[in-house]
Structure formats: structure tokens, C-alpha cells
Amino acid sequence: MFCVGDKIVHPMHGAGVIESIVDEKIGRDLVRFYVFRMPVSGLTLKIPTANSEMIGVRAVSSAETIERVLAELPKLSVDMTTNWNHRYRENMERIKSGDLLEVAGVIKALMHRDGERGLSTGERKMLHNARQILLSEVVLAEDVEYADAEARVNAAMMAEESA
């Protein structure tokens, strides 16, 4: 169980801070929620505490893990199926995994595809969301401004091009 003030990551929304824990009556049941605010976007979510583990909510990665992910970015492969539907589902599963390296791989692969052929509207939105998930975690894990996190991720992406 997380506590107020803990920095956590929701696999589909990114990193944020638990502002409070509230109980709300839903039907006949009393349900406990984490009130989760994302500093980067300002989005506030209520996450049922009972389902949080199943959803994939986890603690924010350490600064060392962030460094490792950014160092691995240039080495990630960009192999993707040509079938849009399969590619979209595979990328969505990778994002839902909550694994930061998988999310980074989706970003790299979609950026590569965008440079070669362009992206569909759905994939463009997926790229934006995956970037927000990664950037929000970098911001909270390393206690840096959004622009600094974005510059670091972009630099890691550029390192791939010159490698």
C-alpha cells in the first residue's frame, strides 16, 4: 500500500504523487482510492487501492534506473510489424507493461517509423502518450524540470542516430 506523498506510476498515465487517500461509497460498498495528481499535466485520477497492483501501479523508478534506461535507448531495436493493427496492439501491450524500457522502445520505434513513413493519427497519439509517460517519470525520479527531462530524452534519441 502506498502512502500520501509517495511518487507512483500508472502504466497508462505516467508518474505522479499521491495527494490523498479517500473512501467513497459506490453503491453499497465503501471503496478506497488513491487521489493521484500528475505534476506534468495537472491531471488528477482516482485509483482504487484494491486494484492498483493489478493495474500495474508501481513506485517511481530510481534515478539510477532512469540513467540505465536512457543509456540503453540508443541500443534498442526498432523492428516492428508492417501490419498497423498488430503493431498498434503490440505497442499498447508494451506500454501497459509499465516497464520503462518497453515504453522507451515504443517511443524509439514510433519515432523511427515517423521518420520513414509517417504515423497514423492513432500511432501519433500513442507516441505522444508514451513520451509523456517516460518524461513524467524522469521528472519525478530525478527531480528536474520538464524541459530538462525532455532535453535528456531527446539527446538519448539523437545518440541513436549518430551511433
The whole-number average pLDDT for the span 120-139 is 93
The whole-number average pLDDT for the span 66-76 is 88
- Tell me the whole-structure pTM to 2 decimals: 0.87
Closest CA to 157 of 95, 121, 115: 115
- Looking at residue 163, its pLDDT comes to 44
- Looking at residue 160, its pLDDT comes to 53
